[in-house]
Structure 1
Amino acid sequence: MHTNNFKILFALSFTVFINTLSFAQDIPKEGRTIDRSVKDSLITKTDSIPIPELSEKQQDSTLTDSIKPKKELLEHIVKYHATDYTRFSQKKQQLYLYNEAKIDYGDMKITAGDITIDYIKNTVYAKGITDSIEGYTQKPVFTQGTNVVEPDSIIFNTETQKALIYNSKTEQGEGTVIAETTKKENDSVYFLRNAKYTTAKDLEDPEYYIKLRKAKIVPGKKIVTGLANLFIYDVPTPLGLPFGFFPQSEKQTSGVIIPVFGEQNNRGYFLQNGGYYFAISDYLDLAVLGDYYTNGSYGIRLDNTYAKRYRYRGNVGFRYENLITSERGFPDYAINTIYNLRWSHSQDSKANPSSRFSASVNLGSSSYYRNSLNQTNAGSFLNNTLSSSISYSKSFQGEPQVNYSVTATHAQNTNTETINMTLPTFQGSIGRMYPFASKTGSKKGLIQNINLQYNLRAENRIQTTDSLFFKKEMFDDAIAGFQHTIPLTTNFKVFKHFAISASTNFNEVWTFNTINRSFDPITRETINEDINGFDSYRTYNFSTSLGTTIYGMFNFEKEGKDRKIKAIRHVIRPSISYNINPSFDKYYDSYEVVSADGLTSTDVEYSRFEDGVFGSPNKNFSSSMGISVSNNLEAKVRDRDSTATEPKKIILLNNLNFSTSYNFAGDSLQWSPVRVTGGTQLFKNKMSVNFGATLDPYALDNNNNRIDQFNIDNGGSLFRLTSANLTTSWSLSSKSGDKKGKNKNDGIQENLRSGGRADDLFGVSEDFANQQIKRDEDEENTPGELYNYKVPWSLRIAYALNYSNSRRQNEISSHSLMFSGDIELSEKWTFGASSGYDLKNAGFTYTQLRFERDLLSWRMNFSWIPFSARSSWNFFIGIKSSILKDLKYEKRRQPDITL
């Protein structure tokens, strides 16, 4: 650079001149003060425009400096720690950390055995420690944000945020990526070479993995790969793809559902349960699935789940199948369409305490579960009833409380194909009112306990069949009506131990459909004429009851003896009731039936209300007395636990009830049969037993008809056993088997949604591909001992016996045994079965055999229905993880269903 001497001399001269003529604020000499009252003579006038004061920040020239400040050596504060030593080299500008070293730098954390920080190159090098005994230990763990990498060694640049990672293990979604070399480009992109992707738990020796030659990872979003193929225990398989895409979203995402391939003898090859899953939002989803058979048959399934925390949750499912039998032109060619609609909705109790909405819908074709080709319905094959209920209820707090509810119901018999519906049923009530009770204190006596309430029920009832369901014809025979009820009751005690209750009930029915019945002598048929218009009737009745409770204690303890049975307590609750129902024959009419020769005629009575919603009023006067006795037996026994201070209570009989009645107004057969019912729990409540019997005191004539003569007076016993029933259910399991049985099974839940049983006695769904059976992954399976290996098992038994002898038939009307069970043959092998035996007809009922093999990261299932019209089998093997659940193999033999 050339120097200008003239400019330098001029600058020095100007500086000297300024310093000579300039004044400075000197420190005044001692003794002299500055007179503040003296004004500057030069200032004669104040400027009207105020001069703004400039802040120090505004006057700072660095704000307008065009040269940016130099970037600091490190952007964040480095926090480090090591157990053995921490050493800094001034010459190399490097920091050395050894043994349990740890570094925190911004959102980056590194722990390792040996860490070196280079302040010149802005790099961090981390590796483990080699020990002669334990080998390579304290491998690095690199954490940045939510991403965790566990390599053998890592080099990280703090300035560019790039890194080279060797032999790393990092979790991506439900799986783990193991890579020889990983290049971290930035916070959101990683490049890998010779990597393995697996969901196995044992990462040192994974039972399977997908080898990725080259891959790109965007953490939390996706993995994009080049050539990839499946390895099983390091053995390559021909299953591979030239490129692949693995979504890694932490939220639900939409995607394709891979179908299942197979063959059905009557309908050819098929694709089943394939479609698309729509993750609409965090509260709503939709799965659209379809089936297609090469003969033209097809099926559609829509499954939706929705939920809102603390408000409600539910699911909706619709299934439709168009089934073609044989081929067009053949005599057995037929087309059958079946469908099923399910909806379940439940409201959280905290959402709105005063109102509630719920729904449980299961309706459709009566033959749907019998004819459906989809293996999802295997456990619902024996369903013979479909029912639905949608209800909304609301209550208004106050005195008295007012409640109302609106309900739509549906009941369908799949054998007779009859459907009964109420669209809708309205029920309203005004709570109990005590007009004579005191405003303070408890209610006492006959008068103060008098209470009444008002109930209203309105129904629109429809009875139809499958063929008319959802058609306008189903509403042609709909009937509607209203029922008003006002009960007036009271209760009080007499002689301290006897409770008396009395009630009278007023009932009024409104209807809009009545009939007029007549006899046509020409066609000799009874003609029913429907009359539309408002009509009503009113009835009333009276009833009272007297009851008490008797306690009895049988003590078996003796001084000096420790008996097993300490005492037995017997509780008896006898009750006598009286009911009187007047005759309302004024609502009855009659029509004349003339004989064929015209010589005789007969009057036939009928009520114009008998086809109404609430039936016809009582015609015959009734005055009857009811007698009932209920019993309860409990025992106190010695507790097996020696530390227990009190005897243990066990139930001998939950209930043992006897009931009968006597009709004072009857001219014959005044005593009703004695009904006996009872039940108990055995074996620590694992076995329930319920029984019942009907005992008739009257005899039969030669035609097996009841006569007005006691059976004992006819040479028989005091009572005739006319019917009896016994049902038992027993659940047995080992301790470990009982623990495993607590896990929820999606197949059982599918049975419940289809209106079936809450157990597997009728089998379970065979949709192995789409049901993810939840297990406790944190529970470690410890191997059994060699000579003390316990096999977990569970067994469920249901037994039913019905006996009939009302007309001396003396027969077992039904006798069946159902059973299901599971046994864990080894830690990974499970066998299950559901079957039954008809003891009356000597034959096995619907049977399903199930095998399951836990293959660590894989699951294998085999289900077999050996006989019946649903004879079939299904084999499945696939990965448990939901991210790779489409990596599966399924083979099945469909049932040969002909419609």
Structure 2
Amino acid sequence: MQANLKYIVFVYFLPLFYFGGLIAQERDSLTPAQVEFKTPQMIPVSDTTELNFAENKIIELDTVSLDTIKPKKESFLTDNIVSTAKDYIRFDRTNGRAYLYNQGKIVYGDITIEAGLIILDNTKKEVYAFGIKDTSGTYTQKPVFTQGQNVVEPDSIRFNFETEKALVYNSRTDQGAFKVKGEVTKRQNDSVYYMQNVKFTTSEDVDNPEYYFYARKIKMVPDKKIVTGFVNMYIADVPTPLGLPFGYFPLTEERASGFIIPSFGDNNQRGYFLQNGGYYFNISDYFDLATLGSYYTNGSYDFRLESNYKVRYKFSGNFNFRYEKLLTSEPGFPDYAESSIYNITWSHSQDGNANPNSRFSASVNLGSSEYYQQTINQTNTGNFLNNTLNSSVSYNKTFQGEPEVNLTIAATHSQNSNTGDISMTLPTVQASMGRVYPFEPKTGSKSGIIENINFQYTVRGENNFDTNDSIFFKPEMFRDVESGIQHSIPINTNFKLFNYFSVSAGTSFEENWVFKTYERSYDETAQEVVIDTVNGFESYRTYNFSTSIGTTIYGIFNFGKDKKIQAIRHTVRPSLSYSTNPAFDQYYDSYVIPASTGIEEEVVEYSKFQGTLYGAPSNSYSSSIGFSVTNDFEAKIKSKDTLAEEPETRKLLSNLSFSSSYDLAADTLALSPIQVRGTLPLFKEKVNINFSAALDPYALDNSNSRIDEWNINNGGSLFRLTNGNVSFGYSFSSDDFSKDKSKDDKKGEDSDTFRQGGRTDDLFGKGMNYDGTFEDEEEKPDDEEVDNENYNYKIPWDLTLSYTMTYANAARQNEISSHSLMFSGNVDLSPRWSVGASSGFDLKDKGFTYTQLRFQRDLESWRMSFNWTPFGTRESWYFFIGIKASVLSDVKYDKNRERDRSL
């Protein structure tokens, strides 16, 4: 519609003159020709061609001499015309018309017109394009006008190439996300159209939409805007009271700044509220910013900033800041309370190709420990079960050369949300030199104990803060900083012994620098230990030695190729190690606690390095022998595929290990408990059951303390089971039973819940987005066709299970300390109905854990969702219905309500 149609019309009259010199018999009726004009007809363009179809008119020349200077004719035709029609192309010289019938098509440059019937009328200076009726009487081959990316599909077109105005009847066109249908369209010029009785919608079917906006008159500027007079909304052809005296609808598909409409609801403690409303700033192609807030009628409010940024091939990330001022009840009431909570998250990743020698990354999640527990914002649903907040910001630089040097500058943060304790390093600077082989040969590979000798050097300096979030980043926090520098030089070698045993040996030297130490003494008056902080540089040095030997043994048990289980292979990896650590008594002092009534005098040894950054060196000599055995069992099973030449390999038991150690220098309790670990694969390795246990050979006395006596000699068994754990996680879906088993292993890693420390799956529930969708929801293509008849036989579903059981018996308590099963699932009950649930059951305390029920209905152009937490401290519900298209995302209704958490 944005083309100069007069050029097209003009070109159609060229053949009338071009064929005017031919003698032909005119036919009054439109009788189809015998020859189909399927071959494109090339119509040459001539600027000197004169058009005159009034055959009875006599042209007389004026006697006045013509100017010898011929006027320069303007040329507006710059390309050839290609025209085709399936049945015929007919020229009516008598009436000054040209006809193209059945699949008529004209192409001029980037302009294309297609219609069942195209008529050019030179007398009226107009062009008409219509559809035609097929044998069943159906109106088909409606006109289609295309120029560039703009496509208009009306029932008919009438254009006057003299006035350059056009009337289009029942036009249909796509403008951005909108589909526009108007009864009458008047083309004012190439960029402005006036339309009457117009429907515009984002529905796929513009002739039978689920909803539409109806306007009596509109002005449309393609790819820019629609401006209307009175407009109101229709749903299923039923008018609604939603109307405006005028309307403005942008047609651009690019991101644009705009308001975010809040949701509303009520809270028993804080009154009515508007939540998550604000303004979105489309700052540039690389950076955006959303400012959002909520307000409650009792005075509570929250404020948040959310930003995303990305520079292709360089870096990408997002930043969120959340602050909430929460008031409970009303001022003056006895239950009135006031609190402030905040949370900061930042995620930054660098493209691997940006700089191969340096890298900067960040993953930050810090703030008030009780933020996720106290926040009442619906978007934080999937995070309130988090127990820890972790952060890490690091910069790494590699200096090429021999040897290579790596420099790392980092800051870390770990916060327990239950206790509020925070451990933070700010900053940590570490430089390490690449491994050096001083005796390696100049050519060939290294072999033997000498050539494999290598050493490294690492220096690490850091400031460590152990604090609480109540004084986080306050002056009190910085007074208790622990600083230190550690130097480490490990020296190692490895070699083969008798071609079957792998031997490694090494020693390590460490030097630790600290800048304050702690002297201890006993105050007899106060009867307590006094700790004095001594500022100043101090250092201590430690070293150790260790060696190990191991091998791999294979055993195969064959049962015959005609058996279902043809063979079982047992792989054993035994390992024996020895380590020694000297006693560093020179770094220890002592103080005396005088004798008192009933208590003898006590001499207490201490080190002034206790409580420093790297702790105190050991003052006890140890000489330990460690042993471990790891077992793997695999089976070769006859394949069910009769054409398969090789049997299938399936794991029966993986990483079944037994490990312990014996301290040769210990006077008592020399043998450590035996640690047992393993993995049991089930269902073709789809489920891995992990188990672990600790077996203690020593007995307990009457006070449940370990004694230097074998448990079997104390009337018990050979070992005491002191603790055990069994757990497994299993995720499967309908895709596992279909031919297409492709899965996205990274699903969920881009969600806001995961960036805030949550899980990638939905075992803890799904967070809500501002548009009513659940996080990680996969948007179905609009053109996806679903076979409704067979849908019940292939319903998409997924299920995630997590089971854990912990047994404790270290002090004869003989109890299951924790026992729970968590599950989450989603089912598409129909092509447009989906339901989901996340919950769990505490098998020990007999109760359900956090439970979330999710319902969603795809209404084609609309989306409806309902999120319900039926019980617990987070009891609430959230309802949303709105248009899916982003251009009309503010046309929505959403409401949420939560219970009084103080009850």
When the two structures are superposed, what TM-score results if normalisation uses the length of structure 1? 0.89
User: CA, structure 1 residues 389+747, in 2 after alignment: closer, same or farther (shift >3 Å)?
Assistant: closer
Count of residue pairs the alignment pairs up:
833
Give me the whole-angstrom Cα distance separating, in 1, the residues matched to 2:599 and 2:261: 80
On the 8 A contact 1:821/1:833 being kept in 2, the answer is yes
Partner of 1:579: 579
Tell me by how many angstroms 1:161 deviates: 5.3
Q: Which has the larger radius of gyration?
A: 1
CA contact (8 A) 1:164 1:182 kept: yes
1:620 equivalent to 2:640? Answer no
* Alpha-carbon separation, structure 2, partners of 1:549 and 1:557: 25
**What is the match of residue 765 of structure 1?**
767
Deviation at 1:108, TM superposition (A): 2.1
Determine the structure 1 residue equivalent to 2:882: 878
Q: 2:849 aligns with which of 845, 848, 869?
A: 845
Whole-Å Cα distance in 2 between the matches of residues 639 and 785 of structure 1?
35
How many angstroms does 1:825 deviate by? 2.0
Deviations 1:821-846 (A, max 9, x none): 11222222212111111111111111
**140-149 vs 526-535, greater mean Cα deviation:** 140-149
Separation (CA, whole Å) in 2 of partners of 1:507 and 1:473 = 32
Tell me if 1:509 matches 2:509: no
Do the aligned partners of 1:870 and 1:896 also contact (CA within 8 Å) in 2?
A: no
SS of the residue corresponding to residue 751 of structure 2 reads: helix
Cross-structure match for 2:59: none
Using a 3 Å threshold, how does the CA distance of structure 1 residues 742 and 153 change in structure 2: closer, same or farther? farther
- Of stretches 758-767 and 681-690 in structure 1, the one that deviates more from structure 2 is 681-690
1:855 aligns with 2:898: no
Q: Report if aligned partners of 1:796, 1:821 keep a CA contact under 8 Å in 2.
A: yes
Q: Aligned partners of 1:673, 1:514: CA distance in 2, in Å?
A: 35
1:221-278 Cα distance to aligned partner (Å, 9 max, x none): 2111111111111111111111111112221100011111211111111111111000
Q: Which moved more, 1:78-87 or 1:155-164?
A: 155-164
Q: In structure 1, what is the equivalent of residue 731 of structure 2?
A: 731
Q: Once the two structures are superposed, what CA deviation does each residue of 1:178-212 show, in whole Å capped at 9, x if it has no partner?
A: 11111222232221111111111233321111112
Structure 1 position 835 matched with structure 2 position 839: yes
Q: Distance in 2 between matches of 1:549 and 1:831?
A: 51
**1:475-486 maps to which residues of 2 (within 5 A)?**
475-486=478-489
Which residue pairs with 2:440 in the alignment?
437
Contact 2:773/2:865 (8 A) holds in 1: no
Question: 3-state DSSP class of the match of 1:186?
Answer: coil
- Whether the 8 Å contact between 1:165 and 1:183 is mirrored in structure 2 is yes
Alpha-carbon separation, structure 1, partners of 2:351 and 2:862 = 37
Alignment-derived partner of residue 55 in structure 1: none
Deviations along 1:469-507, one digit per CA (max 9) or x if unpaired, are 122221110111011110100000111100110000011
Deviation readout 1:538-579 (Å, 9 max, x if unpaired)? 011000000001111111115xxx321121111111100000
- 1:644-793 equivalences under 5 Å are 644-735=644-735, 749-767=751-769, 769=771, 771=773, 773-777=777-781, 780-785=784-789, 789-793=793-797
5+ residue gaps, structure 1, are: 1-63
Provide the rounded CA distance (Å) in 2 between the counterparts of 1:402 and 1:736. 47
496 and 118 in structure 1: CA distance in 2 versus 1, 3 angstrom threshold: same
Equivalent in the alignment of 2:34: none
Between stretches 156-165 and 141-150, larger displacement belongs to 156-165
Distance 1:416 1:555 in 2: 57
2:250 aligned partner? 247
User: Comparing 150-159 with 77-86, which one deviates more in the overlay?
Assistant: 150-159
- Which residue in the other structure is 1:4 paired with? none
- Alignment-derived partner of residue 199 in structure 1: 202
* Equivalent position to 1:225, from 223, 228, 236: 228
Aligned to 1:523: 526
Q: Does 1:185 align with 2:188?
A: yes
Distance 1:347 1:745, change over 3 A: closer
Moved more, 698-707 or 486-495: 698-707
Partner of 1:396: 399
Partner Cα separation in structure 1 for residue 599 and residue 269 of structure 2:
65
Letter in 2 for 1:460: N
Task: Please give the alpha-carbon distance, in whole angstroms, between the structure 2 residues aligned to 1:685 and 1:697.
Answer: 34
Say whether 1:563 aligns with 2:563. yes
Q: 1:307 to 1:119 in 2, by over 3 A?
A: farther
For residue 830 of structure 2, give the secondary structure of its aligned residue in structure 1. Answer: coil
Distance (Å, rounded) in 2 between the aligned partners of 1:512 and 1:68: 98
* d(CA) in 1 for partners of 2:699, 2:251: 79
* Deviation at residue 152 of structure 1 after TM alignment: 1.1
Residue 712 of structure 1: SS of its match in structure 2? helix
CA distance in 1, matches of 2:244, 2:742: 40
CA–CA distance in structure 1, aligned partners of residues 709 and 175 of structure 2: 85
Q: What is the CA distance between 1:321 and its match in structure 2?
A: 0.6
Q: CA deviation at 1:99?
A: 1.6
- Separation (CA, whole Å) in 1 of partners of 2:749 and 2:887: 21
Report the alpha carbon displacement of residue 847 of structure 1 after superposing the two structures with TM.
Answer: 0.7
CA distance in 1, matches of 2:430, 2:162: 74
Runs of 4+ in 1 over 6 A off after TM superposition: 64-67, 736-741, 743-748
Does the CA contact (< 8 Å) of 1:299 and 1:321 recur in 2?
yes
Q: Does 1:868 align with 2:872?
A: yes
> Which position in structure 2 is the counterpart of 1:467?
470
Unpaired runs of 5+ residues, structure 2, are 1-66
Secondary structure (helix, strand or coil) at the match of 2:784 reads coil
Separation (CA, whole Å) in 2 of partners of 1:735 and 1:101 = 47
Match of 2:61 in 1: none
1:802 aligns with 2:806: yes
1:400–1:432 contact (8 Å) kept in structure 2: yes
Deviations 1:690-733 (A, max 9, x none): 10000011112222221111112223221111110000112232
Is 1:499 matched with 2:502? Answer: yes
Bigger shift: 598-607 or 331-340? 598-607
Q: Does the alignment pair 1:893 with 2:897?
A: yes
Answer whether contact 1:741 1:794 (CA < 8 A) is retained. Answer: no
Distance 1:643 1:143, change over 3 A: same
CA contact (8 A) 1:320 1:339 kept: yes
Secondary structure at the aligned position of 2:639 is classed as: coil
Alignment partner, residue 308 of structure 2? 305
Partner of 2:39: none
Query: Alpha carbons of 1:245 and 1:649: their partners in 2 closer, same or farther (altered >3 Å)?
Result: same
Counterpart of 2:100 in structure 1 is: 97
Matched, 1:87 2:90: yes
**Structure 1 residues 847 and 740 mapped into 2: Cα distance closer, same or farther (>3 Å)?**
farther
- Cα distance in 2 between the residues matched to 1:65 and 1:555: 110
Q: More deviation in 380-389 or 80-89? A: 80-89
Could you give the per-residue CA deviations for residues 390-416 of structure 1, whole angstroms, max 9, x where no partner exists? Answer: 011011222211111111001010110
Quick one: structure 1 residues 593 and 176, their matched pair in 2 at CA, closer, same or farther if it must change by over 3 Å? same
Q: Distance in 1 between matches of 2:285 and 2:792?
A: 49
1:752 is paired with a residue whose SS is helix
Counterpart CA distance in 1 for 2:387 and 2:711 is 40
2:641 aligned partner, one-letter code = D
CA–CA separation in structure 1 for the residues paired with 2:893 and 2:76: 57
Q: Give secondary structure in 2 for the equivalent of 1:677.
A: strand
Of the structure 1 ranges 668-677 and 64-73, higher mean CA displacement relative to structure 2 is found in 64-73
User: Match for residue 455 of structure 1?
Assistant: 458
Checking the alignment, whether the CA contact within 8 Å between 1:824 and 1:831 is kept in structure 2 is: yes
Overall identity of the aligned pairs, in %: 58
Q: Distance in 2 between matches of 1:589 and 1:583?
A: 14
Question: How many angstroms apart in 1 are the aligned matches of 2:727 and 2:255?
Answer: 46
Q: What is the rounded CA distance, in whole Å, between the counterparts of 1:645 and 1:679 in structure 2?
A: 29
* Of 315, 324, 329, the match for 1:326: 329
1:427 aligned partner: 430
Q: 1:128: which partner in 2?
A: 131
Residue matched to 1:381: 384
Query: 1:746·1:771 contact (CA, 8 Å) conserved in 2?
Result: no
